[in-house]
Amino acid sequence: MKLNSAQIEQTQRQLEADAIPAEHPAMGQLQRLFGEHTYFLDSTGLNIIEPVATEQSDSRMGVVVNLANWADGEATALKTHAPEATDRMIDFGADHHTH
C-alpha cells in the first residue's frame, strides 16, 4: 500500500521506523520484488503496511508486514523472505480530528 504523507508520519511515529524515500536507488528493485508500497526500515528489517478491514470499513488501521530481516548485527544487509504479517498495527486515525 502506498501511504500519503500523514500516514507515513503516523507510521514512523508508531513503528519507530524510517520511510525509504521514493528517490532512493533501491526503490526500483524493491518495487520489482514486492510491488508499489511505501517501505520502512526499522530494527527488525524491511516492512510495509497493509490495510486492515475494520468495522468502520475505512482503512484507518494497517498491519505491519515484514519482508526482510537484517542479515547481520550491523544492519547493513537485508535477507528477504516470504512476507510475514506481524502483530504490530498502525492506527492511521490517531491524532486526527473528525471533520
Candidates 87, 95, 91, 74; CA nearest to 47 is 87
Give the Cα separation of 52 and 89 in Å (integer): 9
Extract the C-alpha cell encoding 55.
468495522
d(CA 64, CA 17): 11
Is 4 or 96 the better-scoring residue by pLDDT? 4
Q: Is the dihedral of CA 8, 64, 14, 12 positive or negative?
A: negative
CA distance 45 to 28: 18
pLDDT tens for 55-86 read 665 658 999 999 999 998 888 899 999 999 99
pLDDT tens for residues 41-56? 999 999 999 998 766 6
Considering the entire predicted model, what is its pTM? 0.86
